[in-house]
Chain A
Amino acid sequence: QSVLTQPPSVSGAPGQRVTISCTGSSSNIGAGYDVHWYQQLPGTAPKLLIYVNTNRPSGVPDRFTGSKSGTSASLAISGLQAGDEALYYCQSYDSSLSGYVVFGGGTKLTVL
């Protein structure tokens, strides 16, 4: 059971827009800790997609947009492409116990 909750799967047709939610609590996202997103293509290591809630690293298309509000964050992907089919993970920090880095359970994006 992950501290950050993501839907197991989402899907969309090419060209469409999808959103992936990441729901936390008052000890992580709700406490103001930043949210970061990673994309994991099949058989590869994860790759940084969004950092500090809304920022894209160099090379990440502006089709990928991050947002954060209250105890949740979202990743929106517009203009879906076949190459976007991957696992997506959110990451934040939780202040419970001694404090630790937490990941969401991951969301599988299928491009129909």
Chain B
Amino acid sequence: QLQLQESGPRLVKPSETLSLTCTVSGDSISSSSYYWGWIRQPPEKGLEWIGNIYYSGTTYYNPSLTSRVTISVDASWNQFSLRLSSVTAADTAVYYCARLIGGLHWKNYVDVWGKGTTVIVSS
């Protein structure tokens, strides 16, 4: 059964870079059937899409975050990662990694979610 597990620092200082990794077990991240993505949820707020990556390395980012976001894949470890630079308190959130299915970027939806990890931006 597919499982996604987020890992990384829970506390990040303002202006620094947030780095998270999602380890995929139960499926190959190199499958051409899926996209892999990051979604976040600030405290008491709704879901915000951060970005997706296809196994080929093609990436899609939220226009509001694109200048600060990098998503990458490491197929040898069956992992994908998120880097968000120049963080502020507004980046404090639960960060979910996810598998997306749909065949095309604009048709994608999340069929498997990680449990989520809370990241706090504070000095």
- B111 and A45 form a contact (CB under 8 A): no
**Shortest distance from the beta carbon of A99 to any chain B beta carbon, whole Å:** 6
Assess whether A48 is in contact with B52, with CB atoms less than 8 Å apart: no
**How far apart are the CA atoms of A33 and B31 in the complex, in Å?**
24
> Contact check: which of B49, B66, B116 meets A101 at CB < 8 Å?
B49
For B110, what are the chain A residues with a Cβ–Cβ distance below 8 Å? 36, 38, 46, 48, 91
**Inter-chain contacts of B96 with A (CB < 8 A):** 45-46
Asked whether A101 and B113 contact (CB < 8 A) given A33-B106, A46-B47, A93-B106, the answer is no
Chain B residues, Cβ within 8 Å of A2: 46
A4 CB, min distance to chain B CBs, angstroms: 10
Number of B residues whose C-beta is below 8 Å from A? 24
Contact mask A67-90 → B, CB, 8 Å, 1/0?
000000000000000000000010
Q: Write out the residue numbers on chain B whose beta carbons fall within 8 Å of the beta carbon of A41.
A: none
User: Which residues on A sit within 8 Å (CB–CB) of B102?
Assistant: 34
Interface residue count on the A side (C-beta < 8 Å): 26
Q: Which of A48, A89, A101, A106 has the most CB of B within 10 A?
A: A101
Closest Cβ–Cβ distance, residue B41 to chain A (whole Å): 9
Cβ of A102 < 8 Å from any Cβ of B?
Answer: yes
Pick from B46, B47, B60, B115: contact of A100, CB under 8 Å: B60
B65 smallest CB distance to A (angstroms) = 10
Q: Which of B47, B61, B105, B108 contacts A103 (CB 8 A)?
A: B47
A-B contact pairs, 23 of them (CB 8 A): A2-B46, A38-B110, A45-B96, A45-B113, A46-B96, A46-B110, A47-B113, A48-B109, A48-B110, A51-B109, A52-B109, A89-B46, A91-B109, A93-B108, A98-B63, A98-B66, A99-B60, A100-B49, A100-B62, A102-B49, A103-B47, A104-B46, A106-B47
Identify the A interface with B (CB < 8 A): 2, 33-34, 36, 38, 45-48, 51-52, 57, 89, 91, 93, 95, 97-106
Q: Which residues of B line the A interface, CB within 8 A? A: 37, 46-49, 52, 60-63, 66, 96, 102, 105-111, 113-116
